Structures are given as C-alpha cells and as structure tokens.
Structure 1
Amino acid sequence: MITKHIIEGKRNSFTWFDVCDITDEDKNNLIENHELNPRHIAYATDKHERARYDQQENIEILIYNLPVKKNVDTNNFVLEPITFLVKKNTVFTFRSKFLDLDTAKTIAKATHLDASIKTLILTILYQVTICFQDAIDNLNLTRDRYLNNLKHKISNQNLIQLSNVERSLVYIASGIKTNLLVLENITENQSSQELSQTEKKLLHNISIEAHQAEQTVEIALEVTERISATSNNLLNNNLNDVMRFLTVWSLVLTIPTIITGFYGMNVVLPFAKGSIAWVNITFATIIMIIILVIFFKIRRFF
C-alpha cells in the first residue's frame, strides 16, 4: 500500500510516499509513474539487505535496521530494514506492517523542527533507534521472569526460552552495530554546510541513542550468557547427583541379590541349615548393607 503525503515547509515543499508491505501493483506503479529503477526497488524490498547509506546516479539510498517482534507469545525479536529512497524533492519509505509508524505525528514533528526531507528521515530514524531500547527492556523483563522460574526448577522449556532471549539480543546487537556504521557514513558524506543546525542536532541525538542502546545490549547479552551458563552447570550438577544416587543404591542393593543368589543354589553353604537360617542370612545381609552405607558416608559419595 502506498500513502502519499505532501509536506509544506518554510523553505520548500516535498512529497513523501510511504510504502507499507509493497505489492506487485505498487512496484509497477513506482516504476511507471515515478520512474524508479527496478534495481533500486529490489534493494528497498530485500529483507536481507544490509544496513547502509549509498548514492547511486540521482538517488540516495538509506537502509536502516529495526527490531521487530513478530510473535507476541514467544517474544522473539528479529531485524527488518526500513529503506529510504530520495529522488529530487521526493522521498520513498519502504517498510513492513510490523513497524507501526505514526505518520501524522512524524509529519507534525518534522514540520515543527524544519520541514525538509532530511529532517523527516532523521525524525523517523530517531523513532526507530528508540525502538531498540524498548526491545532490550522487553527482553530483560522476559529474561528475569525466566530466571525466577529457574530458581524453582530447571526445565528444558525454560532453557529454550532463555536461549530465544539470547538469540534476540544477538540480532539486536548486530543491528545496532550496522546502524552505527550507517550513521558514521552519513556524517562523513554530509558536509557541515549541507546539514542545518536542526538536522545536526537530530543526527547527534540519534547517535547518542544508538550508542546507549549498544552499551545496554552488551550488558544484557553478557548477563544472559552468564545465566545460561549457570543454568547449564546447575542442570549438569543435578544430573551428577542423580547418577551418584542411583550408583550408590544400586551397589547397596547388589548385596542382598548376591547373597540370595548363592543360597538359592542346590549346594552346601554355611548357615543354610536350621529353622532360623533365613533370619541369620537376613541379619548378615543387613549388617553388610549398613557397613557399605557407612563406607559411602565416610567417602562422601552421598
């Protein structure tokens, strides 16, 4: 779906085409009516395209990563690009429906600051960059909730959920790093004369938020990795305790099995005759079991 916005500024006016979940009909419309190159549209609609800033022919291309939560139940985040194509006095944005962009609020803020294409783009980038911090906070809350469950019982489901949090943090960390490279590239390519004071301030604020998100996600990822490692150690320790318990009691219960096996054979054995032979055999078995249990206690096998 393509939504057209005409933005009137103090210095000039421009047109913004917001393309959400592009269709084949939208592609044909952009190629025929707006003379966009199919190759540029392919860049804009490729979900695996890396974040970058580039100038090709008479078009500026800006691809920026954003965190997207596609499944509310699992609370997993992935990266999706938002792409800007700037051609003369027209800007095209390509995004998916998962980026909830309040266009009216965005236009109002960009107009209030300094209605220009760069101001609009930087305003949107600022909103997207803040989304990274919100996603990190969301994952931290999810991780803490799983941590409370791990205190009571370690289950495979909790470990899988913790692994999903860790994977989402890795995606977010990668997206932030590439976004920072894009911001540095924009700063290098845009001279001080090309950017107004408002645009410089917006770009500076975006860089601050991106660096802050980078530090936050590094801490969150390190904490999650430590918790995951500790959980695995606890799980291995519990397994060792179970195996030790089974080994010790299997040895203890081997004694009556061996003794009753001997006395079940048709051979002459001591204490096998008499009316209370079974009492003597049972008493001797219990004594041997007690001795073995005391030995294991001294050796701290359990």
Structure 2
Amino acid sequence: MIRYFKTDNQRIQEEEKIGDGVWVQMLQPTHQECAEIAEVLNVDIEDIQAALDEEESSRIELQDGYTLILVDIPTVEIRHEKQSYTTIPLGIILTQDVIVTVCTDDTPVLQNFVNNRVKEFSTKKKMRFVYQILFRTATNYQMNLRVIDKKRTEIEERIGKNTEDIDLIDLHELESTLVYFATSLRANGVVLDRLTRYKRLEQYPEDKELLGDVIVENRQAIEMTSIYRDIINGTRELMSSVIDNRLNNVMKYLTSITIVMAIPTVISGIYGMNVNEKWMPFANTPHGFLIICVLTLLICIVTMLVLRKKKML
C-alpha cells in the first residue's frame, strides 16, 4: 500500500501523487509498487525492498542522488498466544525533493505523524522529519522496555506463592526480547553517529539539537535494556533457587516419612521370621501383640519428635 502525505500550515493532508515536499509512505508494498516508486524517483528497487527483509541490519548508504537509511524499530507480535515485542527494519529514502518510508507494519512510530500528533512536523524539512522519526523510535523502545519490566515485576510478585514453570518460560521470552532490543539499539546508534557527519541535505541548527536529543534517548534506551537484562537474570536465578528449595523440602519430608514408616516394617519383619517362639519377646505373653504395636507406635512417635527437632519434619 502506498500513501502520499504533505504538510501545509502544520497540518498534514493526503495527496494523490508524488510532488515536491511529499512524504511517500509504503506499507507492505508489492513488487509492482516498489518498481513504480523506484522508476519515478530513479532509485534502486533493491534499496526500497531492503526494509522488507527482516534480517536486514541498520545502516546508512549514500547513493547517487539519494540516501538510504535503515533502522530497527520496535513492534508488537503474538508469540505463543501472548503479546510480545520484536524489532523490524524501517527504511527511509531521502531524495532532493521527496522522503520515502518503507515498512512491513503500520508502526505507531509513523502513526503519530499521520495522525498529526507531532509538533513542528513538516514533510518539506526532510532531515528534521528523519530525526523526529528516530526520536519517536527511541522513545518507543523506552516505553516498551517499561512494559517489559512491569511484566517482570508481576512474575516476581508471584515468587514464593504460586510460581509455575510457565513463569520461567515468560522470563526467558522477556530476556530474548531484551537481546533483540539491545542489538537493534546499538546498530541504530551507529547510524546516528554517521548522521552527525551527514551534510548532503540542508540542516537547520534546531535539527542538530534534535539529533543530539535522539542520540541521548537512544543511549538511555541502551542503558535501560542492559539494566533490565541484569534484573531479569537475577529474577530468574531467584525463581530457580525457590523452585529448587521447594524440591529439596519435598524430598526431605519424603525421606523423614520413609524413616518413620520403616520402623513398623522392620519390627514386623523380625517377628515374621521362622524361629522358635521361645526366643521371641512377648510371644507367649498375654496381649503380646498389643504390647508390640504400642511399643512400635511409641518408637515411631519418638523418631518423629527427633526429626521434628532437627527440622526434618
């Protein structure tokens, strides 16, 4: 799908075709649509389709007549019937008169511009537009990171109460997401570093200040990712220790019960031997069976008290 937008008096409106100062938004474009835009703008079709490959890494390439900027942006996906986060490429192509964005998802990063929620947004000021996109990307990472940390907190609150194996799996998925985020943010940082030396298109002084803000926000997102990964590692280790401790307690109780139950078994086994009854205590004593049962019970009780005193029962 291809849509054309242009700002007029700080209000965005949709256009019918490409013109000077127009933003071309391409969402999951077909090969035919990519070929059409490539022909009109004299751009390599492979550069347009680069953002459609999920394995593409963030980079900036200066081509003859245009510039390709690829960055990774966060997006929501359904994984194991649950909402998770991942990263996808966003392609930005800058020509002398037009800016083109290519993405496989209608990301909130660009929705803010379409819905006119970004102040001082103009499709004619292309470099500022790029920096605003990158700024929204960095803040989106931070927002998703806070959601991830909130999910981790919810899992941590269940530790010691009704912790289940699924919590360990959820923690692993959160940690995997943070790995994706960390990799993408570092790659985006390299692109931002190259943009500080970019002089092909006109930049205003406030644009450079905005780029500085983007770099700061991206670094903050990287630090948040690192901190949350460390916290998740600690939470996972704590949960594993709690589960192991519960297993040890169960084994301790089972061992204690086995010791107590072994006493009647041993006594009954001794009395079940084929020996002369005159050598068996209480064999000819009135109520001998009852006396043996009582003694066995007393021995079991004493054993239980000893085990309890040693905190094994």
Work out the CA distance in 2 between the residues paired with 1:60 and 1:191.
11
Unaligned runs of 5+ in 2: 10-18
1:43, CA displacement in angstroms? 1.9
Q: String of CA shifts for 1:126-178, please: whole Å, max 9, x gaps.
A: 11111011101111222222222224221112222222222222222222222
Instruction: Number of aligned residue pairs: give it.
Output: 297
CA contact (8 A) 1:6 1:16 kept: yes
Match of 2:188 in 1: 179
When residues 20 and 107 of structure 1 are mapped into structure 2, their CA distance, relative to the original with a 3 A threshold, is: farther
Q: Does 1:29 align with 2:36?
A: yes
Work out the CA distance in 1 between the residues paired with 2:159 and 2:84.
19
Q: Given residue 30 of structure 1, which amino acid in structure 2 is its aligned partner?
A: I
When residues 249 and 104 of structure 1 are mapped into structure 2, their CA distance, relative to the original with a 3 A threshold, is: closer
Match of 1:253 in 2: 261
Match of 1:281 in 2: 292
Task: Give the share of equivalent positions with the same residue, in percent.
Answer: 21
Q: Does 1:143 align with 2:152?
A: yes
Secondary structure of 1:4's aligned partner:
strand
Match of 2:178 in 1: 169
CA contact (8 A) 1:13 1:116 kept: no
Work out the CA distance in 2 between the residues paired with 1:39 and 1:283.
90
Match of 1:90 in 2: 98
Secondary structure of 2:215's aligned partner:
helix
Match of 2:2 in 1: 2
CA contact (8 A) 2:127 2:201 kept: no
Match of 1:17 in 2: 24
1:92, CA displacement in angstroms? 1.4
Match of 1:208 in 2: 216
When residues 181 and 198 of structure 1 are mapped into structure 2, their CA distance, relative to the original with a 3 A threshold, is: same
CA contact (8 A) 1:106 1:124 kept: no
1:294, CA displacement in angstroms? 4.1
1:181, CA displacement in angstroms? 1.6
When residues 192 and 18 of structure 1 are mapped into structure 2, their CA distance, relative to the original with a 3 A threshold, is: closer
Match of 1:293 in 2: 304
Bigger proportion of residues as helix? 1
Work out the CA distance in 2 between the residues paired with 1:151 and 1:171.
30
Report 1:233-248 matches (<5 A).
Answer: 233-248=241-256
1:98, CA displacement in angstroms? 4.3
CA contact (8 A) 2:186 2:222 kept: yes
Work out the CA distance in 2 between the residues paired with 1:170 and 1:137.
15
Work out the CA distance in 2 between the residues paired with 1:97 and 1:195.
29
Of residues 168, 179, 192, the one that matches 1:159 is 168
Q: String of CA shifts for 1:177-217, please: whole Å, max 9, x gaps.
A: 22112111211x32599532021011011112112222222
CA contact (8 A) 1:69 1:78 kept: yes
When residues 85 and 192 of structure 1 are mapped into structure 2, their CA distance, relative to the original with a 3 A threshold, is: closer
Of residues 260, 263, 267, the one that matches 2:275 is 267
Work out the CA distance in 2 between the residues paired with 1:151 and 1:241.
13
Match of 2:71 in 1: 64
Match of 2:53 in 1: 46
Secondary structure of 2:231's aligned partner:
helix
Q: Given residue 160 of structure 1, which amino acid in structure 2 is its aligned partner?
A: I
Work out the CA distance in 1 between the residues paired with 2:124 and 2:120.
9
Secondary structure of 1:75's aligned partner:
strand
Match of 2:135 in 1: 126
Q: String of CA shifts for 1:82-109, please: whole Å, max 9, x gaps.
A: 1112233222111133403232527873
CA contact (8 A) 1:44 1:94 kept: yes
Q: Given residue 91 of structure 2, which amino acid in structure 1 is its aligned partner?
A: T
Question: After the TM superposition, which of the residue ranges 76-85 and 23-32 deviates more from structure 2?
Answer: 23-32
CA RMSD, 1 decimal: 2.7
